[in-house]
Amino acid sequence: MNETLCLLSGLRTIHGDFDTRRIPETDLERILQVSLRAPNASNRQSYSVVIVEDAEVMKQLTGYVGSHTLIYCVDFNRLRDTARHLGDELNLRGTPDFVTAAIDASLVAQTAAVAARSLGVDALFTNGIHRGDIERIYRLLDLPRNGCFPLVALVLGYARNEPTHRRGRLDGAGIIHRGTYRPASAEELDEIISRFDDPESRLGVGVPWREKGFAHYLNWFFQVWSNRAPREPGRTQILRALERAGLVEASASEDTESSC
């Protein structure tokens, strides 16, 4: 493989086990600048990145502490302010624009993680900002309540210990579809279940599911792991935050609530 393919195939996640070393400011700036070259719709860059260096704030945001935590937000405020400065108005289409901006922000975040790894910096993507009270994110970062939504956090730093292995990935039926979508067959689903059961595949999260009385790893995953946090009745706090930000239409939220 060439150098780029080797780098991408070697990506790994450090689950919070970062040491206390700081990323040099020059490297952080390189990561940020390179990541902004990621593609985006109409060159609007309808996102913002908040850089957090305070360890206590990082912990309150995600529960993890690294050298820096980057919070990637869907954000239309810069565009809206620029339009008004020109005497114009930014017309948003609700959910379609939110989805587009979320894709743009995700591309920037992933590019930053790749750039970081090329400099020997490790990373952890986490949706921990959506756990608990999402209002804390707005308070801690002083985010605008309208037109802005914190999408994902990227913790950057250096691994305290070199990981012993990388997590596996599925790469066949149910993942790759050629030409048209094709649901996995019963035989292919059995193969997927078997791969998760095989500890050498590194697809699971490493819990002793057999000792807990489950026939398969995915039995534990669906029955325990996926249900570890109780669902909020009715509309979720995430949906309410999106409504308040003007990033989803009221009709969409009403349909979602009635279908739950």
What per-residue confidence (pLDDT) applies to 250? Answer: 66
Kindly state the average pLDDT of the residues 204-210: 88
Q: Give the model's confidence band at 251: pLDDT under 50 very low, under 70 low, under 90 confident, else very high.
A: low
CATH 3.40.50.10860 fits 3-157, yes or no: no
Across the chain, mean pLDDT equals 90
Largest CA distance in the chain: 66
Provide the 3-class DSSP secondary structure of residue 81: helix
- The whole-number pLDDT of residue 259 equals 38
State residue 12 phi and psi, 5-degree precision: -145, 165
pLDDT band at 92 (very low <50, low <70, confident <90, very high): confident
Q: Is the pLDDT of residue 232 over 50?
A: yes
One-letter amino acid of 195: R
Condensed to tens digits (0 to 9), the pLDDT of residues 23-70 reads 999 999 999 999 999 999 999 999 999 999 999 999 999 999 999 999
257 pLDDT tier (thresholds 50, 70, 90): very low
pLDDT digits (tens, 9 = 90+) for 11-21: 888 888 899 99
Residue 106 CA to its chain's centroid (Å) = 7
Where are the chain's structural domains?
A: 3-157, 168-203
| Model confidence band, residue 230 (pLDDT cutoffs 50, 70, 90) | low
- What is the structure's pLDDT at 16? 81
Q: How many CA atoms lie within 13 A of 173 on its CB side?
A: 13
The percentage of the chain sitting over the pLDDT mark of 70, rounded to a whole number, equals: 93
Q: Tell me, what amino acid is at 92?
A: L
Q: How high is the pLDDT of residue 229?
A: 65
Nearest to residue 195, comparing CAs of 171, 214, 224? 171
Q: How far is CA 156 from CA 98, 220, 235, 254, in A?
A: 26, 31, 33, 38
Mean pLDDT over 115-124 rounds to 95
Q: Mean pLDDT over residues 204-219, rounded?
A: 92
The per-residue pLDDT for 231 is 61
Tell me the mean pLDDT in the region 196-201. 92
